[in-house]
Amino acid sequence: MTIYDIAEKAGVSASTVSRVVNNKPGIKPETRRKIEALLEQYDYTPNETARGLVKRSSKMIGILIADIRYAHYMDIAFYVEQELSRSGYTCLILNTGITEEGKVNAIRRLAQRQIDGLMLVGSTFQCEAVEQALAQNFPDIPIAMANGYLPLPNVKGVLVDEYNGVMECIKLMQKKNHHKIAFIIPNTTPSNLQKQAGFLQAVREGKAPECADWVYLAPTSLEEGYRVTRQILSEHPDVEGLMFCEDEAAVSGIRALTDAGIQVPEQVQVIGIDNTRYCEICNPKLTALDNMMLEMSMETSRILMESLNGGTSPSKIMLFSRIIERETT
């Protein structure tokens, strides 16, 4: 059912039908009613492809996520999709992987599709290569970044103050007289480097500044969390606290500790970051730094919507994280 079919049945031209469909003025009420009846009767829905061609907009939003399986990102994807679809947008979700190549490729693929807006989820997008690719392929459309920022005129970013967040976590452990703390980072995204800086600052100001060297790398996974915890235990049997940059490794870190007969939190405290559902599932329940993913989702989709509607908002929004104390501290 095209606009022409309807036009023919109504005995008018396609332009008239188009105007009715789009609720434009200047149509005789009677004609409008007649066409509306036909539209209803034949269950007409406009072809968004054709419409997109002339309007140079597609009512589609691209969402780039390194890996949607990471529980944390998934919530953002879900929320954003809900929010945007309410305004008639459809979401193109692409998993880019973590390589720069993957990310740039995804951007190029989206460039073919007249998207109206773009959302980047995760700080891994905060890099030179992505910045260039965006400047080249999307100089005009609104772009919103969740947990990241790039200095381009059309980019807005929502960030969490993880530096201070992690610092507070370390201080929490120190307050309970645990000073020998190891820091476990899954990778060196800008966001994680911020966290590390917070850790270093707190530890240097504390009573066991030698811990500044206790930085370990363990990719996000249960296996790695277990492995790195055992490694830390063997290298520093006197460790009193583990600060993980995400929950998944933290959760199996707890398991590694209890398996080794170590009391949590009496002997070793554990804190994760993200405050995912894993925290409530493990035993003892994991204390975690909540980095405000829900708020971030809301803010990010809000500023994206705002930009899409031509509104203005600050190009950088900072949220503050908070510690959710459970049973591991």
Partner DNA sequence: TCTCGTTTTGCAATCGATTGCTAACCTGAT
Partner DNA sequence: ATCAGGTTAGCAATCGATTGCAAAACGAGA
Nearest approach, Cβ of residue 257 and a second copy (Å):
12
- Under rule CB under 7 A, residue 42 binds DNA: no
Closer to DNA by CB, 5 or 81: give it: 5
Among residues 23, 26, 128, 266, which is the contact residue for DNA, using CB under 7 A? 26
Q: What distances in angstroms separate CA 197 from CA 93, 126, 157, 219, one per listed residue? A: 32, 17, 21, 19
Nearest approach, Cβ of residue 304 and DNA (Å):
22
Closer to DNA by CB, 35 or 155: give it: 35
Strand 322-324 relative to strand 181-185: parallel, antiparallel, unpaired? unpaired
Among residues 8, 9, 31, 131, which is the contact residue for DNA, using CB under 7 A? 31
* Interacting residues with a second copy between 283 and 312 (CB under 8 A): 283
Partner in contact with 82, chosen from DNA, a second copy, none, beta carbon below 5 to 8 Å by kind: a second copy
Closer to a second copy by CB, 64 or 167: give it: 64
Q: What distances in angstroms separate CA 64 from CA 58, 145, 212, 228, 295, one per listed residue? A: 17, 10, 34, 30, 19
Partner in contact with 170, chosen from a second copy, DNA, none, beta carbon below 5 to 8 Å by kind: none
User: Which 3-state string (H, E, C) describes 116-168?
Assistant: CEEEEECHHHCCHHHHHHHHHHCCCCCEEEECCCCCCCCEEEEEECHHHHHHH
- Under rule CB under 8 A, residue 177 binds a second copy: no
Nearest approach, Cβ of residue 108 and a second copy (Å):
7
* Interacting residues with a second copy between 29 and 88 (CB under 8 A): 43, 45-50, 52-53, 58, 60, 67-69, 71, 74-75, 77-78, 81-82, 85
Strand 322-324 relative to strand 287-290: parallel, antiparallel, unpaired? antiparallel
Question: Do residues 26 and 57 touch, judged by C-beta distance below 8 A?
Answer: no
Q: Reduced to 3 states, what is the DSSP secondary structure of residue 45?
A: coil
Widest pairwise Cα distance in the chain: 87
Closer to a second copy by CB, 13 or 85: give it: 85
- Under rule CB under 7 A, residue 16 binds DNA: yes
Q: Reduced to 3 states, what is the DSSP secondary structure of residue 62?
A: strand
Question: Do residues 326 and 288 touch, judged by C-beta distance below 8 A?
Answer: yes
Question: Do residues 278 and 251 touch, judged by C-beta distance below 8 A?
Answer: yes
Among residues 8, 9, 27, 36, which is the contact residue for DNA, using CB under 7 A? 27
Residues in touch with DNA (CB under 7 A): 1-4, 11-16, 18-19, 21-22, 24, 26-32, 46-47, 49-51, 53-56
